[in-house]
Amino acid sequence: MPTQTSTQPIRKRCTGERCGREILIVQLTTGNKMPIDPEPTPEGRLRRLEDGRYEVLGAAAAEKARRAGERLWQSHFVGCPQGPQLRKGRRS
Ligand SMILES: [Zn+2]
């Protein structure tokens, strides 16, 4: 039996002091984890796969998916006031 993989999104709150919004920690197809906004957005570039992981699309692929009516999500860093700090992974 395969060990259980945690590909399902984890619901959390952003720890950014000036943020505190609800986010999802998701697993990307690259194996990395990424905080994303829980609702799909027209500017998104993340496609949700059936197993719960998310695939990062290039600009062209995202545009194509959008035109096809797909829902796409985006990284929480985009709209988070604490984004730049989080992105650097600084622990103060
Ligand atoms: Zn945030």
CA of 2 to the centre of ligand 1 (A): 34
Backbone phi, psi, residue 13, to 5°: -115, 140
What is residue 49's DSSP assignment? P
pLDDT tens digits for 47-87? 999 999 999 999 999 999 999 999 999 999 888 987 555 45
pTM of the model: 0.80
pLDDT tens digits for 8-57? 999 999 988 889 999 999 999 999 999 999 999 999 999 999 999 999 99
Q: Is 37 exposed, middle or buried (0-12, 13-18, 19+ CB in 10 A)?
A: buried
CA of 3 to the centre of ligand 1 (A): 32
Neighbours of ion ligand 1 (CB under 5 A): 14, 16, 19, 80
Report how far Cα 74 is from the mean position of its chain's Cα atoms: 5
Rg over CA atoms, the chain: 14
Return the closest-CA partner of residue 40 out of 1, 9, 3, 83.
9
